[in-house]
Amino acid sequence: MAITSSAKKAHRASLRKRVFNIRRKNALTDATKAAKKGIAAGAKETHKLPSEAFSAIDKAAKRGILKANTAARKKARLVASMRRTAAK
């Protein structure tokens, strides 16, 4: 447990930030799942789904929820899955 007042304040701040981080991470997973599902189903609006996922990935990377290389890897794998299904 935090003893000093500054440690208590830092703990309160981390709890507030945690809510935003969880919200952003959930948006990220929802967007990527929707994009993957749409790509696998061969949806006609396949260009819209990855752009929403890319936006969510970029926002998560900007906020520090994902590292930059992790974000780049996720986007690359999403594009690769799009190309694989388009080739079929």
Of 48 and 21, the one with more pLDDT? 21
The pLDDT of residue 46 is 63
The pLDDT of residue 54 is 93
Q: How far apart are CA 64 and CA 88, in angstroms?
A: 36
**What is the percent of the chain where pLDDT is above 90?**
64
Mean pLDDT rounded to a whole number for the chain: 89
38, two tokens: 């749409």
Report the candidate in 15, 10, 13, 16 with the shortest Cα–Cα distance to residue 2: 10
Burial 30-66 (b: 16+ CB within 10 A, else e): ebbebbbebbeeeeeebeebbebbbebbebbbeeebb
pLDDT classification of 39: cutoffs 50, 70, 90: confident
pTM reported for the whole predicted model = 0.79
Mean pLDDT of 61-75: 95
